[in-house]
């Protein structure tokens, strides 16, 4: 990508300042009834654009996704758990700190 589209010797024009794009994140934490983390559980995260991101929680029952461009709701599934075996505790939009 060229630095400028101006021909050599042309008057320099100021670059417009782009507004920073807000960046958001999603965290998933799975804990048992005894408040202990449930590690390595498979999950599926469906992003607002419809993209499905499968993965496994870490050794603390935790996963985080950074650099999301939207604060729209995401859907989380734990495909190996009975749907009646877990419940959503908290949901909120979170803006990443710069």
For every one of its 98 residues, what pLDDT tens digit does the chain have, with 9 covering 90 and above?
A: 456 666 777 776 666 666 666 688 899 999 988 999 999 999 999 988 899 999 999 999 999 998 887 888 889 999 998 777 666 666 665 555 65
In the numeric block, which tokens belong to residue 31? 């804990």
pTM value > 0.95: no
Q: Is residue 2 in a domain?
A: no
Which residues have a Cβ under 8 Å from the Cβ of 46 and sit 6 or more positions away? 52, 53, 74, 75, 76, 77
In a domain, 74, yes or no: yes
Domain membership of residue 63 (yes or no) is yes
The domain tally of the chain equals 1
- 58, part of any domain: yes
Cα 91 to the chain's mean position, in Å? Answer: 13
**54: containing domain:** 24-79
């Amino acid at each position: 990508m060229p630095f400028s589209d101006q021909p050599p010797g042309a008057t320099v024009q100021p670059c417009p300042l782009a507004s920073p794009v807000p960046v958001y994140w999603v965290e998933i934490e799975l804990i048992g009834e005894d408040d202990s983390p449930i590690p390595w559980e498979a999950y599926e995260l469906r992003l607002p654009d419809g993209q499905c991101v499968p993965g496994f929680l870490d050794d603390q029952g935790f996963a985080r996704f950074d650099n999301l461009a939207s604060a729209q709701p995401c859907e989380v599934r734990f495909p190996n758990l009975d749907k009646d075996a877990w419940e959503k505790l908290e949901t909120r939009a979170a803006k990443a700190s710069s």
